[in-house]
Amino acid sequence: MTWKELVEQSLHYFKTHKQEFNWSIEDLDGRIGYLDDDLRHPMDDLNDYLFDVPVKRIMEMALLGSDDDSNSMFNTDRDYYYRNYWTGNLISTDHIDYTNYLDADFIEYLYEDYAKQRNWGRDADDVEEYEFPAPIADIFSQYYDEYGDKIKQGDD
């Protein structure tokens, strides 16, 4: 298997299995901070998130914030929230959508994380069970068995 094939197969899988993609990218974010401020949080956690933020800043974050689903003001009746990367203002939404991250860079970061797990001595079945959707672990395992943790091999 070449690197190009690994990327193509992985992207195809994730495009047709959005829930697994969301789970995988959130899991990767938990380990390396991949999503930065784009990580969606349950609206029920908003109080905990704003616990030590000054009241004036909370008001600015909400009043200058927006709603992804209606292009209006921030709405606490939505299911999720996240922060605008540039302004820090709050954005509300009912949907989790990370598709703008579904690209070759994401697959590379995910593979590097997989290879790191394997290099720590975990076998393929153990890594699959705890870290990656089975089809992705199978794709990564085929490549890893041939090239180890080397990225972009076999495309010559």
Structure tokens at 3: 């690197």
| Whole-prediction pTM | 0.80
Of residues 84 and 123, more confidence is placed in: 84
For the chain, domain boundaries: 3-35+100-147, 37-97
pLDDT tens digit string along 139-156? 998 998 888 888 887 775
pLDDT tens digit string along 92-104? 999 999 999 999 9
Q: What percent of the chain has a predicted confidence (pLDDT) above 70?
A: 91
Specify the pLDDT at position 20: 93
